[in-house]
A and B are shown apart, each in its own frame.
Chain A
């Protein structure tokens, strides 16, 4: 019924023993294994063919979960209405890190991001949103993840994976760091690999005895038995366990490698440190996904200091370390980072010194290949939609641009419609 390459019998040990000669036994070996065997041998060549033009382009998605307050992230300090609406939580003009003469400034705790901006590595995309904004976290997050204003269906990156590897799912094409696998990466055939702690990304009981380890591999590598529906939960569990087994060694080896850069000791920095290690390790992964939660600042969000400020500091400082890590190994040119949140927050603050769910907000693209600067107009602070900013740029335009201009994919096939391309990638 559905394409399921794991139905084909094979074992990982067989693969490891035979290495690249696998191609000859194509009838019984899933394509993705042949491909990764190929990738290992051709990796250097692929990169050296066209110096300066990164072939294996990588997208890193950083999700700010909970609804990041866009107005206190990219501060419109030149607008008096901003200060009227936010008596106790506005960022004073003198503290905002001005972005040239745009009248906008980064939050003072975004110094890390500002230094990247000054290097010409950041594109700020203003007023990103969608029509009839949904103010439920869950629905709005689903809308962003599915690129569908009904918020149903499969993930946009999952659909990209499905398109890219039609017929030969490659389990490590998408890797999510964290114990949750984001909806954005769930495709019909392809699901992301996710891991939280590399030490636990293996069956620990196997350490007890070699016989247990062999028996475990035997169980996990047994193909889905004939007569079990590929759509059943049992088959789904078997496929997931196999994906985990196949990628476990590779991921753990990559993440073990040391970085030459000092990362801050924060959750996001730790995640990005592992992403950089996997990129450096030459994994075939095209999309990495990390999430930082804690942006749902209904109460006591603070201004230049406080809860929201700490969140932003974590983002800016982690990004700065991540970019210099990539630079150190020359992986920066083939890596682009996109930072987004499911929505911004209400223009006016509430009684609890916080802000309620809003609508349009800025997104960020980071990397040497972006058109640096600020794109789009700042949404009006007076022409509002139920107290919220109106969007100027549809988030699917941003996706289209990333897919089409960065990943070299057919954005229309992935998103089902053509959206205009933004001038954010060189």
Chain B
């Protein structure tokens, strides 16, 4: 039973209710969200494919999450009076005043780093516990797409504002987001546009706007970048607000992507959105995020998949960049549920953590330890490695990150706490047998079989070569335990399952 060599059907016809069984429901929950426990899976089956998908797509605005604990005034610019004071102190070399200002700045930065750590833990908890998993999954998608790191922004509140922008338009319109992003303080700071002026325009935002956010390499010229940078001059912010500085803006004629005129930043975005490459670029990224780890080079993608992506791109253009109908069609399609697409993706670290929490009913104990684990796995929230975001697929996996993944899950099973006493309290409370229906009355063998099937999906079935080999290893482990199968042995079984190489797949 070779995997991934079979060609998936290119059919986007909707899957029938009769074909929507436990494997399909599980697949939907993992791919369009962060997995589910057996109860979530049976609920989805009862709803049937249409209602299950619509329930995922029905999301509230950004105000569905509580952000009230975050403060927007920790990092601030100096007031006019303070600037004047500072200027005079510099002039007169008044070291005491200068030192006082330096300390004030450092104090702000320290406080902000504290808030940033809270922000990271907060979002991870939202991801793992949300009632709207697709909304958070798309927020994560946009975070990876418009990748912005705290390093280079150093303002946690700006990152929260950006996160809320993504959440608000999670399954909304891409064009709205693209106009929004050139006015987003976090990205303006991250890509150095906040000081870009007509005398010396900074090219960073103009380049990444086309290369990474919309068109992809090869669909624009170096000249488009240089002129695009001029179009974006004067796009900056003050405090937490976007401002357009007329006196910095270059309003001379420009030539960008075949459009000629006194183009400003918004016109530049409009010119980008008119390019056919834009919808194709977005469709491929959505496909790789939601369906399977195909190459990001269109030439290396199998024909059937190219057809599906081409269809998604046309749909995006037809619906004027509205993402929701495209996702709905995809999540209902026969292509999405093709066996070749089951277990065809490597989970991102966030999917791994949030998914384990939801599918194994782990009590949530998120704090710094889990955020650190995400870093070790290569996906620290709000700190992508670069503006290109995370490559995904096999690039997640190397000898370092595979241990980090196995260890993160082991740590979670131990309660995600470093303090041994807390760990003991947790360990005494969590019984994985409660995850599986009738698990409490099962023998070790029955539990291992059922948990393997739940945790690995179809490849964990005893009829699959992988499932069969893994079950044998678990049985050997259970033999060493002896006849008394209890809670601790069940924790052992689950620790081993989460350490299996194929647990990384969904």
Interface residues, chain A, CB within 8 Å of chain B?
Answer: 135-139, 152, 171, 176, 178-181, 191-197, 200-205, 208-209, 211-212, 214-216, 218-220, 222, 225-229, 231-234, 236-238, 240-241, 243-244, 247-248, 293, 298-299, 349-352, 354, 356-357, 386
**Docked complex: B190-207 residues within 8 A CB-CB of A:** 191-192, 195-197, 199-204, 207
Supposing A211-B477, A227-B1 touch, asked if A234 and B343 sit within 8 A by C-beta, the answer is yes
Supposing A196-B400, A234-B501 touch, asked if A180 and B496 sit within 8 A by C-beta, the answer is no
Supposing A138-B388, A180-B398 touch, asked if A229 and B204 sit within 8 A by C-beta, the answer is no
> Which residues of chain A come closer than 8 Å to B500, judged between CB atoms?
219
Q: B496, A212: Cβ atoms under 8 Å?
A: yes
Q: B202, A351: Cβ atoms under 8 Å?
A: yes
CA distance in complex: A393, B501 (Å):
44
Q: Let me know if B66 is at the binding interface, CB within 8 A.
A: no
> Which residues of chain B come closer than 8 Å to A354, judged between CB atoms?
192, 202
Q: Let me know if B118 is at the binding interface, CB within 8 A.
A: no
Minimum CB–CB distance for A124 against chain B, Å: 28
CA distance in complex: A276, B28 (Å):
48
Q: Let me know if B473 is at the binding interface, CB within 8 A.
A: yes
> Which residues of chain A come closer than 8 Å to B401, judged between CB atoms?
179
Supposing A228-B465, A240-B399 touch, asked if A204 and B410 sit within 8 A by C-beta, the answer is yes
> Which residues of chain B come closer than 8 Å to A233, judged between CB atoms?
3-4, 293, 343-346, 394, 505
> Which residues of chain A come closer than 8 Å to B217, judged between CB atoms?
136, 139
Q: A204, B411: Cβ atoms under 8 Å?
A: yes
Supposing A135-B222, A136-B207 touch, asked if A215 and B477 sit within 8 A by C-beta, the answer is yes
Interface residues, chain B, CB within 8 Å of chain A?
Answer: 1-5, 191-192, 195-197, 199-204, 207, 211, 217, 222, 293, 297, 343-346, 375-378, 385-386, 388, 394, 397-404, 406-407, 410-411, 413-414, 459, 465-466, 468-470, 473-474, 476-477, 480-481, 492, 495-496, 499-502, 504-505
Q: B202, A244: Cβ atoms under 8 Å?
A: no
With A135-B222, A203-B407 already in contact, 9 other A-B pairs whose C-beta atoms are closer than 8 Å: A176-B398, A200-B376, A201-B400, A208-B495, A225-B466, A234-B501, A237-B397, A298-B191, A298-B204
Minimum CB–CB distance for A148 against chain B, Å: 13
Minimum CB–CB distance for A376 against chain B, Å: 26
CA distance in complex: A270, B492 (Å):
36
Q: B459, A234: Cβ atoms under 8 Å?
A: yes
Q: A244, B402: Cβ atoms under 8 Å?
A: yes
CA distance in complex: A214, B479 (Å):
12
> Which residues of chain B come closer than 8 Å to A193, judged between CB atoms?
398-399
Q: A232, B378: Cβ atoms under 8 Å?
A: no
CA distance in complex: A218, B345 (Å):
25
> Which residues of chain B come closer than 8 Å to A351, judged between CB atoms?
195-197, 199-202
Q: A194, B400: Cβ atoms under 8 Å?
A: yes
User: Looking at B197, B201, B376, B466, which has the most chain A CB atoms within 10 Å of its CB?
Assistant: B466
> Which residues of chain B come closer than 8 Å to A229, judged between CB atoms?
2-5
CA distance in complex: A211, B478 (Å):
9
CA distance in complex: A134, B287 (Å):
27
A-B pairs with beta carbons under 8 Å apart, 8 shown: A138-B386, A200-B404, A203-B403, A219-B470, A243-B399, A293-B385, A350-B202, A357-B203
Q: Which listed residue (B200, B495, B499) contacts A350, Cβ 8 A?
A: B200
Q: B344, A298: Cβ atoms under 8 Å?
A: no
Residue of A nearest to B225 (CB): A135
> Which residues of chain B come closer than 8 Å to A241, judged between CB atoms?
402, 501
CA distance in complex: A178, B413 (Å):
26
CA distance in complex: A136, B211 (Å):
8
Q: B343, A225: Cβ atoms under 8 Å?
A: no
Q: Which listed residue (B343, B377, B496) contacts A215, Cβ 8 A?
A: B496
Q: Which listed residue (B5, B222, B473, B499) contacts A205, Cβ 8 A?
A: B499
Q: How many A-B residue pairs have CB under 8 A?
A: 196
Residue of B nearest to A352 (CB): B195
Minimum CB–CB distance for A326 against chain B, Å: 24
Supposing A211-B481, A215-B473 touch, asked if A236 and B394 sit within 8 A by C-beta, the answer is yes
User: Looking at B377, B388, B413, B496, which has the most chain A CB atoms within 10 Å of its CB?
Assistant: B496
Minimum CB–CB distance for B372 against chain A, Å: 10
Q: B202, A194: Cβ atoms under 8 Å?
A: no
Residue of B nearest to A136 (CB): B211
Q: Which listed residue (B2, B378, B466) contacts A180, Cβ 8 A?
A: B378
> Which residues of chain A come closer than 8 Å to B344, judged between CB atoms?
233
Supposing A200-B407, A219-B473, A233-B344 touch, asked if A191 and B398 sit within 8 A by C-beta, the answer is yes
Minimum CB–CB distance for B292 against chain A, Å: 9
Residue of A nearest to B226 (CB): A386
Minimum CB–CB distance for B342 against chain A, Å: 11
CA distance in complex: A205, B481 (Å):
16
Residue of A nearest to B195 (CB): A352
Residue of B nearest to A349 (CB): B200
User: Looking at B192, B293, B375, B496, which has the most chain A CB atoms within 10 Å of its CB?
Assistant: B192
Q: Which listed residue (A139, A209, A228) contacts B3, Cβ 8 A?
A: A228
Q: B2, A232: Cβ atoms under 8 Å?
A: yes
> Which residues of chain B come closer than 8 Å to A135, judged between CB atoms?
207, 222
Residue of B nearest to A193 (CB): B399
Q: B403, A222: Cβ atoms under 8 Å?
A: no
Minimum CB–CB distance for A171 against chain B, Å: 8
> Which residues of chain A come closer than 8 Å to B459, judged between CB atoms?
234
User: Looking at A208, A215, A357, which has the most chain B CB atoms within 10 Å of its CB?
Assistant: A215
Residue of B nearest to A183 (CB): B395
Q: A205, B504: Cβ atoms under 8 Å?
A: no
Q: A205, B465: Cβ atoms under 8 Å?
A: no
Q: A181, B202: Cβ atoms under 8 Å?
A: no
> Which residues of chain A come closer than 8 Å to B505, judged between CB atoms?
233-234, 237
> Which residues of chain A come closer than 8 Å to B473, judged between CB atoms?
215, 218-219, 222
CA distance in complex: A218, B470 (Å):
9
Residue of B nearest to A387 (CB): B226
CA distance in complex: A19, B277 (Å):
58
> Which residues of chain A come closer than 8 Å to B346, judged between CB atoms?
233, 237
Minimum CB–CB distance for B350 against chain A, Å: 15
Supposing A136-B211, A152-B297, A352-B202 touch, asked if A386 and B222 sit within 8 A by C-beta, the answer is yes
Minimum CB–CB distance for A13 against chain B, Å: 14
Q: Which listed residue (A197, A225, A244, A356) contacts B465, Cβ 8 A?
A: A225
Supposing A229-B4, A233-B4, A237-B402 touch, asked if A197 and B394 sit within 8 A by C-beta, the answer is no
Minimum CB–CB distance for A305 against chain B, Å: 15
Chain A to chain B: the 6 pairs with minimum beta-carbon distance, closest first: A351-B200, A237-B501, A225-B465, A205-B410, A244-B399, A181-B398
User: Looking at A137, A171, A226, A293, which has the most chain B CB atoms within 10 Å of its CB?
Assistant: A137
Q: A219, B402: Cβ atoms under 8 Å?
A: no
> Which residues of chain B come closer than 8 Å to A356, judged between CB atoms?
202-204
User: Looking at B5, B217, B222, B400, which has the most chain A CB atoms within 10 Å of its CB?
Assistant: B400
Q: A205, B495: Cβ atoms under 8 Å?
A: yes
Q: A204, B501: Cβ atoms under 8 Å?
A: no
Minimum CB–CB distance for B80 against chain A, Å: 23
Q: Which listed residue (B202, B399, B466, B468) contacts A234, Cβ 8 A?
A: B466
> Which residues of chain B come closer than 8 Å to A219, judged between CB atoms?
470, 473, 496, 499-500
Supposing A196-B400, A232-B3 touch, asked if A237 and B504 sit within 8 A by C-beta, the answer is yes
CA distance in complex: A176, B399 (Å):
10
Minimum CB–CB distance for A76 against chain B, Å: 22
CA distance in complex: A241, B217 (Å):
34
User: Looking at B200, B222, B385, which has the most chain A CB atoms within 10 Å of its CB?
Assistant: B200
Minimum CB–CB distance for A308 against chain B, Å: 15
CA distance in complex: A178, B378 (Å):
10
Q: A299, B496: Cβ atoms under 8 Å?
A: no
> Which residues of chain B come closer than 8 Å to A220, judged between CB atoms?
499, 501
CA distance in complex: A227, B481 (Å):
31
Minimum CB–CB distance for A176 against chain B, Å: 8
CA distance in complex: A225, B1 (Å):
10
Minimum CB–CB distance for B205 against chain A, Å: 10
CA distance in complex: A293, B386 (Å):
10
Minimum CB–CB distance for B506 against chain A, Å: 10
CA distance in complex: A99, B402 (Å):
46
Q: A218, B476: Cβ atoms under 8 Å?
A: yes
